[in-house]
Structure 1
Amino acid sequence: MKVVINQEGVCKKSDNDIVWGSLMAKCRQLERVLDKRYLSPMERLAVKDEYERTFALTEKFRRN
């Protein structure tokens, strides 16, 4: 895990790690929504499209 140490000596995650974690959380949330059976075909298509776009963004912020 890549960490950044600020002047006070406190470790924190880098910006890319924070963004990556947020995007992955959003992907997990969208996966749970897709697992629900009561979505209409149009709703399912919209959620799947959002999931694919969000997952593609994770590649940009992938952890090294």
Structure 2
Amino acid sequence: MNLRYNDNSTSQVVRRTIQARRFYRYDQPFRTPTDRQPFQINARVTGDRNTAYQVAVLACPAGVNP
């Protein structure tokens, strides 16, 4: 997972390989490694043909702790 910032720079926050199981939810908490607020989150998901994946991101504004 990579974060993109308004100056067009990026940072990688997660690099993980898993063997996904059907109907199982995987959570991956992370924080931005910089003090800047990203405007875009990119995730790469690959797998077998005809397999559907769903990626969801829950975020809090900078300075707010859940």
TM-score category, normalised to shorter length: under 0.3
Point out the structure with max Rg over C-alpha. Answer: 1
Q: Which has the higher strand share?
A: 2
Which protein, 1 or 2, shows the higher relative CO under an 8 Å CA cutoff with sep ≥ 6?
Answer: 1
TM-score (normalizing by structure 2): 0.22
Q: Which has the higher helix share?
A: 1
